[in-house]
Amino acid sequence: EAGVAQSPRYKIIEKRQSVAFWCNPISGHATLYWYQQILGQGPKLLIQFQNNGVVDDSQLPKDRFSAERLKGVDSTLKIQPAKLEDSAVYLCASRHQDSSYEQYFGPGTRLTVT
Amino acid sequence: AQSVAQPEDQVNVAEGNPLTVKCTYSVSGNPYLFWYVQYPNRGLQFLLKYITGDNLVKGSYGFEAEFNKSQTSFHLKKPSALVSDSALYFCAVRDRGSNDYKLSFGAGTTVTVRA
């Protein structure tokens, strides 16, 4: 079974530029999560999708961050404009709808904003 | 509200010695508890979970964890550590009564196993 795929793996941009990350979850997983992991901290949930609907986006800075999951499969997370404090690893995770338990994580995208 | 505390930023042990990584949690109801491991430049890998039943749960790579409700703890253990166990370990909790399946993670503990 293929795991969660993410791209790009690394991205360096200047502040005020825009950037987009892509995630392809495990096949059949209805729930998809985006996390932000700042160096030295645990992952923090940004947004959760169930199929193509948003379940929780209370921690998403909506003035600059947006996310979508068209067709309930792949998802993109966008930042526009980026700030220095957005430098972090962005992790995508997915979970099967019949499992209440563990989430499966992708390798992450390391974003550096200069 | 739910939260996790990992009181140690770093744990250093010699290869072959027992390894313990501490975790305490706070939830309003009953918890689901998880341990994940993160190797450099990799995503989080699931190690083990406590859902219900036996308080001692066994997971991948010889790790186990003990759920202690009275102490609200879920410490990760390995009887004999390997150099390859050196990584960043995260404890996570979800309130069993919540419908959003949201995990809250601790800040992580860096484990270094010296040869």
Q: How many CB pairs under 8 A join A and B?
A: 54
Does residue A86 sit in helix, strand or coil?
Answer: helix
Report the gap between the CA of A97 and the closest CA in chain B (Å). Answer: 10
* pLDDT-derived band at A100, boundaries 50, 70, 90: low
By mean pLDDT, which of A106-110, B51-55, B87-91 is the weakest?
B51-55
Q: What is the pLDDT of residue A107?
A: 93
- B49 chain-A contacts, CB cut-off 8 A: 101-102
Look up residue A48 and give its two tokens: 């959760």
Across the interface, which of B44, B49, B102 has its CB nearest the CB of A56?
B102
Strands B64-68 and B73-78 come out as antiparallel
By mean pLDDT, which of A3-12, A91-100, B67-76, B87-96 is the weakest?
A91-100
List Cα–Cα distances, A98 to A2, A28, A30, A52, A93, in angstroms. Answer: 18, 10, 9, 17, 15
Express each pLDDT in A36-92 by its tens digit: 999 989 999 999 999 889 999 999 999 999 999 988 899 999 999 999 999 999 999
- A4 chain-B contacts, CB cut-off 8 A: 43
Rounded distance between C-alpha atoms, residue A105 and residue A99, angstroms = 15
Q: What is the pLDDT of residue A101?
A: 79
Rounded distance between C-alpha atoms, residue B113 and residue B98, angstroms = 37
Q: B93: closest CA among B106, B110, B80, B111?
A: B106
Q: What is the pLDDT of residue A40?
A: 87
Report the gap between the CA of A67 and the closest CA in chain B (Å). Answer: 17
Q: Chain centroid to CA A55: how far?
A: 14
Look up residue A20 and give its two tokens: 């987009």
- Mean pLDDT value across residues B95-114: 89
- B108 chain-A contacts, CB cut-off 8 A: 40-42
Rounded distance between C-alpha atoms, residue B112 and residue A109, angstroms = 25
* pLDDT-derived band at B96, boundaries 50, 70, 90: confident
By mean pLDDT, which of A12-16, A38-42, A65-69, B20-24 is the weakest?
A38-42
Does residue B61 sit in helix, strand or coil?
Answer: helix
